Homo-oligomer: A and B are copies of this chain.
Amino acid sequence: MKFGGTSVGDPERIARVARHVMAARKQGFKVCVTVSAMAGETNRLVALTEELGGGDVSRDPDYDAVVASGEQVTAGLLALHLRSKGCPARSFQGWQMGLETDDSHGAAKIKRLPQDRLMDAMENGEVAVVAGFQGFTAQGRISTLGRGGSDTTAVALAAALGAARCDIYTDVDGVYTTDPRIVATARRKPVLAYEEMLEMASVGAKVLQTRSVGLAMTYGVPVRVLSSLQEPEETGEGTLITGEDEIMEHEVVTAVVPSVGEAKISLLGVPDKPGYSALIFRLLSEAGVNIDMIVQSPARQGSEANMSFTLSEKDLSFAMEKLTLAKDELGYDELVANQNVAKVSVIGIGMKTHTGVAAKMFETLADKAINIENISTSEIKISVLIAADYTELAVRALHEAFGLSSQDA
């Protein structure tokens, strides 16, 4: 079981987490529970490191020593509370359970996760309460796994312990066909394939991090997403994320995912010669800017081409600066930034075997007179870039067109 920052945000919520843990024990499970820092705590600690470290020090071992303390506190508090309610429990820090990572501080990778100490505690009748997000290096320093690291800890533990399931408690009661704030008839998915969840996470669904879903897929750990905001007896079934072959029937399209915070950069009049686009993207990659949805418009022979791509809005001004400084080298005529864009994706593992999804998607958008600026696809996903103002309209239309709305709404 894993409980995120909102789920342990105050003492009352930690007490409710304990009730969830005790309910699972009542069902006959041995429980290992991973917790995040109390909501807001990691941000407070990061701000202190920036103030005293003179900027972003998130690659520093001492940064990790500071921020890992948030999870340490929650784990201790939950163990204390479980015991005060008569449920044997003890906390484990990363170094105490032996979770060894590489030395990429601030974004460390797990190298070794022995299960003996946790298993001993559980065999001994105790709930093993694990501080998520943290480990230690071969040099004996505290390390952290980066944002969303507690999900990674939980999935890795489930794999190491051979757990029946990894239940990830969040502030939503499962994964939906789309954002219920946009489409009232959005449905909770009872089950999803790892690949679908991966694509959803990669285009901006906030429920789970790509990294933990990828880890679950690699080790075949069934992951369930549930809400911790209800009492155990009121909590629904959530969404089970599992292997493709565990799912009997695949809908062609599973979800429509809007993604905000996108921006688009266009370079007009790029020389249509080999190597020029590589030049542009190497420049941006070296500057640490992730780009997406690249489109190069066909150029008339011997003439110039136009190129556009999307990137995260927060990287926009930095990328524009880099490209402007390299204008002579890159040889383009004009540079245009556009923040008024949004990405909308349809995702479904059934696309592997069904054709016509793209056509249906484009027709649906055309019907609403929504212009498509860029397109990118994967085996189980189609994403389009549109004007941001049309986001909700596009999501509602696609959700309806692919038959995702609940019948009884």
Contacts and interface: CB of A to CB of B under 8 A. Distances in A.
Contacts of A89: 62
B83 A60 contact: yes
Given A52-B84, A81-B52, A96-B140, A65 B76 contact: yes
Contact of A79 (B45, B51, B62, B79): B62
A236 interface: no
Interface in A255-274: none
Number of copies: 2
Interface in A196-245: none
Contacts of A69: 69-70, 72-73, 76
Interface string A60-103: 11111110111011011111110110000111010110000000
A99 to B, nearest CB: 14
A66 B77 CA distance: 7
Contact of A49 (B45, B76, B141): B76
Interface string A40-52: 0000010011011
Contacts of A45: 73
A112 B3 CA distance: 37
Interface of A is mostly: helix
A62 B80 contact: yes
A62 B90 contact: yes
By Cβ-Cβ distance, the 7 closest A-B pairs, closest first, are A66-B76, A65-B76, A54-B84, A69-B69, A53-B80, A52-B81, A62-B79
Given A54-B81, A66-B73, 20 more contacts: A11-B51, A11-B52, A15-B52, A45-B73, A49-B80, A52-B78, A53-B84, A55-B84, A57-B80, A57-B84, A62-B83, A64-B76, A65-B72, A65-B76, A66-B72, A66-B76, A69-B72, A93-B142, A95-B95, A96-B141
